[in-house]
Amino acid sequence: MPLTNKLKAVLFDMDGVLLDSEKYICQAGIEMFKEKGFNIVPNDFLPFTGMGENRYLGGVAEKYNIPFVVEKDKARTYEIYAGLVNGKLKPLDGVIEFIEKCLNKKLKIAVASSADLIKVKINLKEIGIPEKTFNTIVSGLDIKNKKPAPDIFLEAAKRVGTSAPYCLVIEDAISGVTAGKAAGAKVLALTTTFDSHDLKEADWITDNLSTANDEVLDW
């Protein structure tokens, strides 16, 4: 064990890590497409999970040749989403305690979510975690290449004053795990969305942040 930890920062994905809003954004997407006259089912969104709403919605539209105006249709989806989640979201098990551990260890912390900033803000407000808790928030609007490209984690590391090899990425999606490893970070994967077999590229795998062992913050 080194005398001083190499770890400098923890980069949190949002959905499936800090909270579980997947069913609500899925339902919002279904309702948005229904307004267009198309019946979509939840499994249609699964291949695009963790890639940001442009791809989450756009991938389904592309699959079924549905006319899709990104900004307009995304805005309508967020409008539906905000109504659906009002008073219904809460932090996942262990989130508050894990963040406190990070802060006690003087680690920098960031949200690195492929979602648009409006969704990040809605979610943090709903689960009662102030935005200022984090040193920075990087959203899907801040980077060109979305997960599984490493760009979002490289940018988050840069913003907190370090580089990816000194960061722990916490993810729940296959694309996010791939992005974290491609960035050169260590990755803790949570099985909130995918099975452990699908997340085997990660350095550690656990059910949620309450079951993460101390090793993930001690290297």
CA distances from 93 to 10, 98, 172, 189, 209 (A): 17, 9, 14, 14, 6
Check if 13 is active-site: yes
Coil/strand/helix, residue 141: helix
Q: What's the sign of the alpha-carbon dihedral 142, 143, 144, 145?
A: negative
CA distances from 12 to 39, 45, 65, 152, 157 (A): 33, 22, 34, 11, 11
Catalytic residue among 15, 73, 151, 172: 15
- 212/17 Cα distance (integer angstroms): 12
Check if 15 is active-site: yes
Pairing of the two strands 108-112 and 167-171:
unpaired
Catalytic residue among 13, 73, 116, 172: 13
Active-site annotation, residues: 13, 15
